Each structure stands twice: as structure tokens, then as C-alpha cells.
Chains A and B, each alone.
Chain A
Amino acid sequence: MLFNTPQFFVFLVVTLGIFYVSPKPLRKWILLAASYFFYMSWNWRFAPLLLSLTAIDYVAAIWMERVESPRRRKLFLVLSLAANLGFLGFFKYYNFLASMLAEALRKDSHAFALSIILPLGISFHTFQSMSYVVDVYRREQKAIRNPVDYAVFIAFFPQLVAGPIVRAHEFFADYYTWAPPIDEEKLRGVLWIVLGLAKKMVLADQFAQIADSYFQNLAAHPGAPAAWSGVAAFAMQIFFDFSGYTDMAIGMALLLGFHFPTNFRRPYLAFSITDFWHRWHISFSRWLRDYLYIPLGGNRHGSLMTYRNLMITMLLGGLWHGASWNFVIWGGYHGALLGLERVFGRKHFQEQPNLLVYPLRAAMTFLLVCVGWVFFRAATLRDSVYVFQQMVSWHGKAGLIPLWLTCVLALSLAVALLEERFEWIERLARGPAWAYVATVVTLLFSVELIGVTEKAVPFVYFQF
């Protein structure tokens, strides 16, 4: 059940309806049932896996809180992390490691391969669950006593399959003091849902057609204009796809009375790679910082160790996206860029440049990010190299992005710049009714007239 299908909207409306007409004590059960129904609509076989991980972390956290011995606390933490990383590693990385082993033993690359289906959202819910366990271990979060409460936190359907990765204290702050959304929140919730849907169907899915046609048949599109436009199309696809999904998740959560953190803050307006990572998939960057980079030592042990920690964090961040060397290289590339920015002066890359320099810096950052997307999207390393060769070649005639889509993109850029300056989307729900109505109607028309509606295109991050 994809967010961009009519079936999902029926599910959402029914869930909201039942949720709000039910007595308060029943509501968490309704959220849990709806979330498992949503998860099982993909593949019911993975529900026991989700349930097991939930049970393990629930119990581990309570035991950790009960015992005082640091060794035993650590033991429970390790057991919990081992379970999460074990499942994640098996489902996501087994075949990758098996193919490497087979190659090392000079056997067929599929010699040890298993037919494994990746459980939906495993990368997200394991990370969310691990953050909770670590927070309890650090005594930053109290263990949740009610198993239903904890199960709702892990399985909450708006963010179950692709985030944002919500921290336990953020979720339970809303959960334990739950109040129905006020009018402004309802309006904001609907607006985020419609905006996310438009981002996905109007922009992401249109750009996906271009990016797919380019990357799936590189030889058919030789030359620099095709390569640059193919890569730019993917850059747009992945941003609008993932941020569209997140917007919808935030909107749905708002309608249910929950406040999710911002996950994207106009990342392509970033003026440096450091700034980019403060704007792109923020909940994931935050997770990497708090549970990997800082525990590794962060920037507390001198420059060399900082670069090392940065590189390890980004390499693992890349690997999190998928079992492929291309993702590792993508992570390493960003790690190297972040390191370089530190070498040239961290302050310089964290402070907003003046208006004259800003467009140049933003364009430069976008170009660097696009180069990284080549590794992310190309099927193999060889394909990535081929794309780079084409990008710096002098031949080729036309790009792949049609004029009308370029116009729509230019309009989106204008909207993003206005949003960057005025944050008008958030304000819209407080503003005059006509402005809200006009925005929603425009977005709905864009979905109807420009969106890809013949078939529901899956979200990119669902595969991670």
C-alpha cells in the first residue's frame, strides 16, 4: 500500500475516522492495529520479525533500567544491538558479503547467495529501535513499561517504512500528553500531505522517467548534455521522492496528534556540503552524529581522528543505503568533501555567505552533490565511471529534460527560495483562508494534470 495510491487514502481516512470516534483508551490499540495492517499489506510474513525486534528491545531496555551493574547493562545493550544489526545484516548485507566471499574464493558470485527478500522499512525501524535502547542505556530515556506503547512507537505507520527516524523522547512527549490536533495543525497536516503527494507524483515521478531511461540504458544516451541532465533528473527524483514521502508522513502524524521533526530543509539550496547534511535526511544525519560519530570520538581527539571519524560515519551511512560498493563510495565521497571543508575552515562552510557569493556557492554545492548521485544511482562502478566520462566529454546535443518540466522546476525553485526566506508553508495554515485554499487547489491540479497517475511509482527509499 503505497502512500500515493487511492487504497492508502482510503486506509488513512478509515483509520483517522476510527481513531477519533473511539474512546481514548482504545486509540493506541487502533494505531497499533492500523500500523500492523499497513505493514502486513506489503508482506504479512515479516510481521513476526517486526514483533520480535520490538519485543527484544522492549525487554532489553527494561532489564537495562533494572540492573545497576555497568557490565550487565552493557551486556543487554550488546544483545539488543546484536539482534537489530543481526537481522539488518542478514537481510540486507548477507548476499553482498556472500558474493565478496565467493569472489575471494574464486567461485561463482552467486555460489553462496540466498534468495532473500528485504523486509520493508527494516533499515528505519531498526535504527529507531536502536536509538531508543542506546538512549535508555545512556539514561537519557526511561524504559517504556507498556509493551503496546513501545510497539506503537516502532510500528507507527506514517514513518514505519521510510522515516523520519523519530527519537523516543520526541514520540513519547506527544504520546503521553496526547491532545487532538488544533485547527491550525489539521490544516498544516492536510497541506503537508497534499504537498508531499504533489512532490512525489508531479516532480519525482516525472524526473524518475528521465533518470530511469538514462541510467537503465546508458549507451543509448551518449554525450555530456544527456549525462548531466540524466544525473540532474535523478537528483530531483530522489529529493522530491524522499522529501515528498516525509512531508506526507509529517502531515499524517499531525492529523493523528503527533509532531515529527523536519527531515528536509531545502537541501539543494545548501551553500556547502556541511550545510547540505544539515538539510538532507536530517533525522538520519542526526542519528549518525549521535550514535556513531560522537561515540567514535567526534571532534574531541584532534584533527586526524576527526577526519577518521567523519569518514567512518559517512562510509557506514553510505552502506546503510544498500549493499553495494557504489553506496560505500558515495558515503566516502561525502566524507571526503566534509573533511575537505574542515581543512579549509569549518566556520567558512557553516556560516551563510553574503548574497553575492551565495548563488555561486549553492550552485557549486549542487554540482558536487550531483556528482555523488552518480555513484548512488548507477548500477555498477563501471557504469559510474562511464557516466563521468560522458559528463566531461564534449560531444552530444540535447539534454533529456523537456522544456515544460524545466519550467515546473524553475517554479519549484522560486517556491523553495520564498520558503527559505519566509517559511510561508508553515504560515499558510495561520494565514487567510483564500491563500490556503488556492494553494491546495493548485497542488491538486498539478497532481491531476502533471502528475504520473497511470501507475503508482514506488518510493525510492522504500528499497533501503
Chain B
Amino acid sequence: MRAVPVLLASAVAFAAIEGAVFHSGLYTWILSPDASTGFIQTVLRNERERPKDGPQVLGVGDSRMLLEARLANEHTPETGYTFGTIAAAGATPRSWYYMLRDTDPTARFYRAIVIAAESYDDADKFEVEADRAEDLSYVIAHLGLSDLWEFSRSYQDPSLQWRAARAILFKGLVYKRDFEDVLVHPVSRIRLARVAHRDSFAWYYKFTGPPETLAGFRVDWKNKTLDAPPNANPGLVENLRFRLLYQLPDETGNQSRYLKYWIGKIYERYRGSPTRLIFLRLPRGGFVRPDQPSYNPHSSVRELAAQPNVTLIDEHFFDSLEKPELFVDELHLNGPGMDLFSVMLTQEVSRILGPLR
């Protein structure tokens, strides 16, 4: 045997099999819908396979973007628009970009993309969103070699940059945990994947929010105390305390730079397209901190507002939902809150888009 051809053949065979299994989407078929990558795959597959008659509107955001498409579509006869959503728990603006890129490859299919922003002021958050390692697991199935430089460089931490670059080259590194589970339970995994492919649309579409509320909680902003009802979940109490009473992080402009980059990239995809980008500011919670971030006229979304196909829904549009009775925890609307939010959003978006011509 001659060494160089054999070694080259080994490298080529490895790259070819790696590519065929992990870069082609073959493995994503079997991913657990409970794992990060599988969860995003499920959400995107649901949207891809959803019957789409008439003009479409797509919601994007994280777990707080609780647009119930089922409820929104009950209004389709009046509005003429059909709603879908790819909002997913833990998804960030960076993930939204790649999720949108795969869901709407021509960037012209939807009449509107409704993007849920946490704030219109780009305030810094407790976590540095640019260094959110989980984003890699969320979008790995949608990253190609051409994303290697941009995606990995979008992390600030060099170790995360390196991890992202390696993962884009060798996607199996990200699917490792999932693969180990497949090794142990291959049959049950195939069964689970089949069930997910068949039923997942209904899981999400028929989802109704939880009935629990924050009624009974009281916040004393002056003394920075939180009174909880006696039977309150300790985890919930601690999360509320953290969210409402902890000192907000100092403004560094970090989050603003991050948002301008990724929201800017989403905008660039839709620049000149018939699709309208509609931003909304999410209801902030059952209790609203008095020390809200200061008004930022140069935030990512406010700077985009002047663009012809961009609309910002009034940032106080959902203020009426910011009541303890409509929230289940420190961040999320409960069932009744979701219903109200969905109806309000559907009507407002339909109003912005105007009657069908």
C-alpha cells in the first residue's frame, strides 16, 4: 500500500461520511425532540409542513412570544391572514436569523414576520447573549461551512468561538449526547422520532397555557421585598426575587451591539422584499420594575423603524396584560394571558398589514 493515497482516502472517507450523515440532515431525522437541536428541528418542521393557504404571517421569538396560532387562525375569515410561529424557548436573535433563513429561504414567502423583542431599548441583560453557548446546539443543523467564520466570530469568548468553529466542521461533536442515547436505546429512539414527526404539529398547535397565576404575590419596591403566598413554589419565589429585586446589570452597550448585528442581519435578508418586519415589545411581566432601562433612541429596532418595510408596534401596546393574574411565573403569560396576547397581536398585525387586496 502506498501511504499518501491511503491516508488521503481515509481523510476523504471520513469527511464524506461525516458530511452525508451530519451535514445532510440525515441524522436530524432521528434527533430527540426533547434535546435542544431536536426541539428546534421539530419547531421548524412543524412550520415547514403546516398547510399554508393564503397570505401567511410568521411569529419569531423566545418562550415569551406566546402567539397561539390556533387562536389567531380562528380570526382568519375576518383578517384573511394565517398565522404560524417558530418562536421557541431559549431562542435568541442569533438563532432567529438562522431559523428564518431555513424557514423562509427566498425571504419573500411571508406577508409579515412578527418579531418579539424583550425591549425597544437594547438594555443589557443578566447574561451576555452574544456568548450564549446553547445557540450552537439550537442552530447547528442549519449551519453550513459558509457560516463557519461569521457564526463562530459572533461569540466574544475565544473558547466559544473555537468550540463553534469545531462544531460546524464536525457536527457530530454537538450530536454526541444524542448519539450516545441512540446507542443505548436505538429502537425506542426511532419510535420517538416517528411519533414526533407524526404528532408534533398537534403538540404545539393545540398547546394551551397553564392556568396558574401570580395572584397573591406582592412586591414592595421601596423596601425591595417580595411577599409570596404560603403555598408558593420556592423556585418560583426565588426567580421572581431575582428578576424583580436584583440590581440590573450596568449598561455596557454590549447587548445593543449584539442586537444591532443580528436584528440588522434579519433586516438585511428582508430588505427590498415584500415581507414586512413587525416588532413588538413583549409584556414585561406580572410586576413591572420601576427602574426600567432609559429610553434609547438609537436602539437596534428604533433605528430600523424608519425603514419602509419595518413597523414597530407601540411599545406600550401590551401594557394592559402586565398583571399578576395573567402571568404564570416571572416571565411567561399564563393560559388566559396567552389568549389575550394572541388575539391582541393578531388584530394589531392584521390592522398594520391592512385588508387583503
Residues in A lying within 8 Å of B, measured CB to CB: 6, 183-184, 186-187, 190, 402-404, 407, 429-433, 436-438, 440-441, 444-445, 448-450, 453
B53 part of interface (Cβ distance < 8 Å): no
Point out the residue from A190, A407, A436, A449 that lies within 8 Å of B176, measured CB to CB.
Answer: A449
| B306 neighbours in A (Cβ, 8 Å) | none
Q: Is the CB of B172 within 8 A of A449?
A: yes
Q: Taking CB as reference atom, which chain B residue is nearest A183?
A: B3
Contact between chains at B176 and A445 (CB < 8 Å): no
Given contacts A404-B184, A449-B179, contact A437 B9 (CB under 8 A): yes
Chain B, 1-55, CB within 8 A of any chain A CB: 1-3, 5-7, 9-10, 13-14, 17-18
B180 — which chain A residues lie within 8 A by C-beta? 404, 449-450
Cβ B10 vs Cβ A441 within 8 A: yes
Q: Specify which of A183, A404, A448 is in contact with B1 (CB 8 Å cutoff).
A: A183
**Pick from B10, B172, B179: contact of A437, CB under 8 Å:** B10
Do A436 and B17 touch (CB < 8 A)? no
**Provided the pairs A433-B9, A436-B6 are in contact, do residues A441 and B14 lie with their beta carbons within 8 angstroms?**
yes
Q: How far is the CA of A432 from the CA of B6 in the complex (A)?
A: 10
- In the bound complex, CA of A71 to CA of B18 (Å): 66
A209 to chain B, nearest CB (A): 12
Partner of B175, one of A183, A187, A449: A449
In the complex, residue of chain B having the shortest beta-carbon distance to the beta carbon of A428: B1
Residues in chain A near residue B7, CB distance under 8 A: 186-187, 190
Asked whether, in the complex, the Cβ of A404 is within 8 Å of the Cβ of B10, the reply is: no
B173 at the interface (CB under 8 A from A): yes
Closest to B171 in A: A448
Q: How far is the CB of B158 from chain A (nearest CB, A)?
A: 13
Closest 8 CB pairs of A and B: A186-B3, A183-B3, A448-B172, A440-B10, A404-B184, A404-B183, A437-B10, A449-B179
Q: Is the CB of A448 within 8 A of B18?
A: yes
CB distance from B207 to the nearest CB of A (A): 33
Query: From B177, which residue of chain A is reached at the shortest CB distance?
Result: A449
**Residues in chain A near residue B204, CB distance under 8 A:** none
Pick 26 A–B contacts, CB within 8 A, sort by A. Answer: A6-B166, A183-B1, A183-B2, A183-B3, A184-B1, A403-B184, A404-B183, A404-B184, A430-B1, A433-B5, A433-B6, A437-B10, A437-B13, A438-B13, A440-B10, A441-B17, A444-B10, A444-B14, A445-B14, A445-B17, A445-B172, A448-B18, A449-B172, A449-B180, A450-B179, A450-B180
Contact A440 B14 (CB under 8 A): yes
Are the C-beta atoms of A187 and B6 separated by less than 8 Å?
A: yes
Q: Which residues of A contact B175 (CB under 8 A)?
A: 449
A437 to B2 CA separation, bound complex (whole angstroms): 12
Q: Give chain A nearest CB distance to B153 CB in angstroms.
A: 18
Q: Does B201 contact A (CB under 8 A)?
A: no
- Interface residue SS majority, chain A: helix
User: Cβ of B170: which chain A residues have Cβ within 8 Å of it?
Assistant: 448
Judging by beta carbons under 8 Å apart, are A441 and B184 in contact?
A: no
Measured CB to CB, the nearest residue on chain A to B17 is A441
Given the complex, which residues of B lie within 8 Å of A436, measured CB to CB? Answer: 1, 6, 10
Pick from A183, A407, A436, A448 the residue with the most CB of B within 10 Å.
A448
Smallest CB gap from B9: residue in A:
A437
Contacts of A187 in B (CB 8 A): 1, 3, 6-7
Chain B residues with CB under 8 Å of A407's CB are 183-184
Question: Beta-carbon contacts of B151-185 to A below 8 Å, as 1s and 0s?
Answer: 00000000000000010001011011001100110
- In the complex, which of the residues A403, A430, A438, A445 has the most CB atoms of chain B within 10 Å of its own CB atom? A445
Q: B13 to chain A: which residues have CB within 8 Å?
A: 437-438, 441
Q: Which residues of B contact A432 (CB under 8 A)?
A: 1
Q: How far is the CA of A190 from the CA of B4 in the complex (A)?
A: 11
Besides A407-B184, A436-B1, 7 other A-B contacts (C-beta < 8 A): A186-B7, A440-B10, A441-B14, A448-B172, A449-B176, A450-B176, A453-B176
Q: In the assembled complex, which residues on chain A have CB atoms less than 8 Å from the CB atom of B6?
A: 187, 433, 436-437
B11: shortest Cβ distance to chain A, in Å? 9
Instruction: Report Cα–Cα, A285/B180, bound state, in Å.
Output: 38
A438 to B6, CA, bound (A): 11
**A407 to B13 alpha-carbon distance, docked (Å):** 25
Q: How far is the CA of A449 from the CA of B176 in the complex (A)?
A: 5
- Name the residue on A nearest B5 (C-beta): A433
Smallest CB separation, B254 vs chain A (Å): 25
Residues of B within 8 A of A403 (CB): 184
* Bound form: Cα–Cα A402–B180 in Å: 10
Task: Return chain B residues, CB-CB under 8 Å to A6.
Answer: 166
Q: 1/0 per residue B121-161: CB within 8 Å of A?
A: 00000000000000000000000000000000000000000
| A112 vs B31: C-alpha distance when bound (angstroms) | 58
Residues in B whose Cβ lies below 8 Å from that of A444:
10, 14
- In chain B, positions 175-198 with a C-beta closer than 8 Å to chain A are 175-176, 179-180, 183-184
Residues on B with C-beta less than 8 A from A450 are 176, 179-180
